[in-house]
Chain A
Amino acid sequence: KQEVTQIPAALSVPEGENLVLNCSFTDSAIYNLQWFRQDPGKGLTSLLLIQSSQREQTSGRLNASLDKSSGRSTLYIAASQPGDSATYLCAVPPGDNFNKFYFGSGTKLNVKP
């Protein structure tokens, strides 16, 4: 079974800071990895999807990297804003079942004005 771990569980930073969220997974034979954002009481919003052949993916102030061999992905947020406050989750399907995504427990981010 794919095990997904996200560190830290919670993070509080002042506005403007650059920050890194970490995701590690045990089965490195993956097809892709997806990062999501979840606001309180809401569903998940897709941020970035990295295919297994890619090393990184960028969208605006967000950059996600993928190192399959070490079972790690990082989400880099540049110049953080209070509106970035949310829980960030990564999801990975295992190599033998690409339709069964496993999620980490998330990193709860608070960006202080």
Chain B
Amino acid sequence: GAGVSQSPRYKVAKRGQDVALRCDPISGHVSLFWYQQALGQGPEFLTYFQNEAQLDKSGLPSDRFFAERPEGSVSTLKIQRTQQEDSAVYLCASSLAGGFTGELFFGEGSRLTVL
């Protein structure tokens, strides 16, 4: 596609519900990143994929957070038993070559509000 596409753009969940956020990266991009952005802050790293391999998940805040990219293209970030502190914008980025030399391209994000 022309850019990184994320869905849904907005999600309201009741505390305790499970949510799934989808990212469709730029076609052919090897690397895919998930970031969490709280209001008024810069994005914080959650996890990184190279093709289908999840090479770094050190930023996932708890075991309620799970990400996958089974075919090395579309990725899903799943949050189980959502809590109010999970409210944030979840940004997906892709890169042709990864962080070493590659420029990051971001989607518009999925804004999650947990009531």
Q: Which of B61-69, B70-78, B94-102 contacts A (4 or more CB under 8 A)?
A: B94-102
Q: Is the CB of B99 within 8 A of A44?
A: no
**Cβ-closest chain B residue relative to A93:** B99
Residues of B within 8 A of A100 (CB): 45, 48, 56, 58-59, 99
Given A31-B99, A34-B104, A101 and B91 touching (CB < 8 A)?
Answer: no
Extra inter-chain contacts (12) besides given A31-B100, A32-B99, A91-B42, CB under 8 Å: A36-B104, A42-B109, A43-B91, A89-B42, A89-B43, A99-B48, A99-B100, A100-B48, A101-B45, A103-B44, A104-B42, A105-B42
Please tell me if B4 contacts chain A, counting CB pairs below 8 Å.
Answer: yes
Q: Is the CB of A42 within 8 A of B108?
A: yes
CB contacts between A and B, total, < 8 Å: 72
B101 contact from A41, A51, A97, Cβ within 8 A:
A51
Give CA–CA (A41, B100) in the complex, Å: 28
Shortest B58–chain A CB gap in Å is 7
Given A31-B100, A49-B103, A97-B56, A44 and B48 touching (CB < 8 A)?
Answer: no
Residues of A within 8 A of B25 (CB): none
Q: Is the CB of A98 within 8 A of B99?
A: yes
Question: B residues near A, CB below 8 A?
Answer: 4, 6, 31, 33, 35, 40-45, 48, 50, 55-56, 58-59, 91, 93, 98-101, 103-109
Q: Is the CB of A43 within 8 A of B103?
A: no
- Chain A's interface size range is 20 to 34
Interface residues as binary, A1-41 with B (CB distance below 8 Å gives 1, 0 otherwise) = 00010000000000000000000000000011010100001
Residues of B within 8 A of A46 (CB): 103-106
Q: Is the CB of B105 within 8 A of A102?
A: no
Give CA–CA (A41, B103) in the complex, Å: 22
Residues of A within 8 A of B56 (CB): 97, 99-100
B42 contact from A41, A43, A45, A103, Cβ within 8 A:
A103
Q: Is the CB of A98 within 8 A of B100?
A: yes
Residues of A within 8 A of B31 (CB): 99
Give CA–CA (A98, B99) in the complex, Å: 5
Residues of B within 8 A of A41 (CB): 108
Given A4-B42, A102-B45, A105-B42, A44 and B106 touching (CB < 8 A)?
Answer: yes
